[in-house]
């Protein structure tokens, strides 16, 4: 069994630790933001952490109404452009805390007047030493190069950050998520059976929208780095603006489909894919009855919390990525590949 699969299974405990041990920092951040609400939030990250940042952008803007930008580190590291960051919150996200360009942006941000927050799995990392506040992803040691539990713990840390910024995030529902993930992990055998159908897949498209767009990005990354499948990644809206032209009979499509405000857009995509006779796999939950009658292959999660407040899909991203992680890990093994050691990749990537 791969470390990737083993670490995917460890997520309920990792998520519970990240939440409970992050509460003191949440308290400190909330007090700070009550007197110093930022005018803008800038998220800086690379790789899987950048996918988590995409989620954070949606989450913070939806729940706090504070504008959020994703940093382009090259603005600093290559073009040496110094930004006015007074009154801005800059958040660095890095599993190892040793991403050189992420750390460079965070360190420069402090000089430029920003408050800085680090989200990392390593309490003794460079990132943790730079940031004014640190929200730790308490995932434990992650040995596989392919990130799984660190990604979901980063998402949970971003929920805490949004709550500290005044976002309508329910801690009670966050406490429910580790148990929800535990139930999703029971789908492992079913996911493995589905993965066998894709043994010879060489190209694919992943689709999501809103809060789950980050998961489309993350599944695509996992398919590329662990299964060597060329994967394009789109929001459902962008897909319909041109790229859908590449879809043909039996083309592999992976679609995240929670109920809520994104469902009409996703539903329209599924109808189009049905007409094109694509090979479509839909990740949804038992509460989305409309998705369950679509003529596509389904991975159905246990139903989400019924009365959690906020958008219907607000708490779906963490449990929704788990079957995608299981799929990528098992498909890699079916293909005879080692998902823990993708060629040319290392756990810490240093770029400037």
> Do residues 229 and 143 share a domain?
no
Q: According to the model, what pLDDT value does residue 324 have?
A: 98
DSSP state of 244: G
| Crossing angle of the two packed helices 317-334 and 213-227, in degrees rounded to 10 | 20
pLDDT digits 0-9 by tens, 325-343: 999 999 999 999 998 787 6
User: Which secondary-structure segment (H or E) carries 70?
Assistant: strand 68-70
- Strand-pair partners of 235: 208
C-beta of residue 158 within 8 angstroms of C-beta of residue 56: yes
Q: According to the model, what pLDDT value does residue 140 have?
A: 92
Pick the closest to residue 347 from 97, 146, 141 (CA basis): 146
> Do residues 15 and 45 share a domain?
yes
Q: Is the pLDDT assigned to residue 126 strictly greater than 50?
A: yes
DSSP states of 157-170: HHHHHHHHTT----
> Do residues 157 and 186 share a domain?
no
Please, how many CA atoms are within 13 Å of residue 45, restricted to the half-sphere of its CB? 27
292 by DSSP, 3-state: which? Answer: helix
Distance, in Å, from the CA atom of 98 to the CA atom of 127, rounded to the nearest integer, reads 6
Pick the closest to residue 312 from 294, 285, 292, 293 (CA basis): 285
pLDDT digits 0-9 by tens, 61-103: 999 999 999 998 888 888 888 888 999 999 999 999 999 999 9
Q: According to the model, what pLDDT value does residue 352 have?
A: 56
Tell me the C-alpha to C-alpha distance, in Å, between residue 138 and each of 106, 148, 166, 329: 21, 13, 23, 22
pLDDT digits 0-9 by tens, 192-245: 999 999 999 999 999 999 999 999 999 999 999 999 999 999 999 988 888 888
Residue 162 resides in a domain: yes
> Do residues 35 and 82 share a domain?
yes
Tell me the C-alpha to C-alpha distance, in Å, between residue 96 and each of 44, 108, 339, 348: 14, 19, 19, 6
Q: According to the model, what pLDDT value does residue 307 have?
A: 47
Q: Which domain holds residue 256?
A: 180-334
Which residue among 120, 141, 169 closes a domain? Answer: 169
> Do residues 17 and 151 share a domain?
yes
Which band of pLDDT confidence, cut at 50, 70 and 90, is reported for residue 291?
A: confident
> Do residues 193 and 80 share a domain?
no
The distance of Cα 230 from the centroid of its chain, to the nearest Å, equals: 19
User: Which secondary-structure segment (H or E) carries 132?
Assistant: none
Pick the closest to residue 222 from 113, 73, 326 (CA basis): 326
Average model confidence (pLDDT) across the chain: 92
Distance, in Å, from the CA atom of 23 to the CA atom of 26, rounded to the nearest integer, reads 5
Q: According to the model, what pLDDT value does residue 351 have?
A: 60
> Do residues 117 and 190 share a domain?
no
> Do residues 164 and 184 share a domain?
no
> Do residues 270 and 154 share a domain?
no
Question: In the structure, how many helices (H) and strands (E) does the chain have?
Answer: 14, 10
Which band of pLDDT confidence, cut at 50, 70 and 90, is reported for residue 310?
A: low
Total domains, the chain: 2
pLDDT digits 0-9 by tens, 20-72: 999 999 999 999 999 999 999 999 999 999 999 999 999 999 999 999 999 98
Q: Is the pLDDT assigned to residue 350 strictly greater than 60?
A: no
Which band of pLDDT confidence, cut at 50, 70 and 90, is reported for residue 347?
A: very low
CATH number of the domain residue 113 falls in: 3.40.50.10490
Q: Is the pLDDT assigned to residue 295 strictly greater than 80?
A: no
What six digits make up the tokens of 104?
């460079």
Distance, in Å, from the CA atom of 216 to the CA atom of 285, rounded to the nearest integer, reads 16
């Amino acid at each position: 069994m791969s470390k990737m699969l083993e670490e995917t299974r460890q997520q309920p405990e990792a998520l519970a630790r990240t939440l409970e041990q992050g509460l003191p920092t949440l308290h400190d951040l909330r007090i700070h933001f009550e007197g110093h609400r930022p005018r803008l939030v800038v998220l800086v990250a690379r790789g899987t952490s950048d996918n988590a940042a995409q989620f954070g952008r949606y989450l913070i803007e939806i729940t706090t109404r504070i504008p959020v930008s994703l940093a382009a580190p090259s603005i600093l590291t290559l073009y040496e452009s110094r930004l006015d960051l007074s009154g801005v919150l800059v958040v660095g996200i890095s599993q190892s805390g040793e991403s050189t360009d992420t750390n460079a942006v965070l360190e420069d941000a402090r000089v430029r007047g920003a408050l800085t927050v680090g989200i990392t799995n390593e309490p003794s990392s460079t990132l943790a030493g730079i940031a004014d506040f640190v929200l730790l992803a308490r995932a434990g040691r992650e040995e596989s190069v392919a990130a799984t539990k660190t990604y979901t713990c980063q998402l949970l840390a971003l929920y805490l950050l949004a709550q500290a910024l005044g976002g309508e995030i329910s801690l009670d529902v966050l406490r429910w998520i580790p148990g929800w993930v535990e139930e999703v992990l029971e789908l492992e055998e079913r996911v493995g059976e589905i993965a066998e159908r894709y043994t010879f897949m060489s190209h694919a498209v992943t689709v999501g929208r809103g809060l789950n767009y980050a998961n489309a990005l993350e599944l695509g990354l996992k398919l590329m780095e662990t299964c060597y499948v060329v994967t394009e990644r789109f929001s459902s809206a962008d897909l319909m603006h041109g790229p859908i032209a590449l879809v043909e009979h039996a083309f592999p499509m992976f679609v995240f489909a929670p109920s809520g405000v994104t469902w009409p857009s996703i539903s329209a995509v599924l109808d189009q894919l049905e007409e094109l006779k694509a090979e479509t796999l839909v990740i949804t939950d038992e509460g989305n009855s409309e998705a369950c009658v679509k003529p596509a292959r389904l991975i159905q999660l246990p139903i989400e919390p019924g009365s959690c407040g906020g958008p219907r899909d607000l708490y779906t991203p963490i449990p929704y990525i788990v079957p995608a992680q299981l799929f990528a890990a098992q498909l890699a093994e079916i293909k005879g590949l080692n998902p823990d050691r993708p060629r040319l990749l290392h756990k810490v990537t240093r770029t400037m």
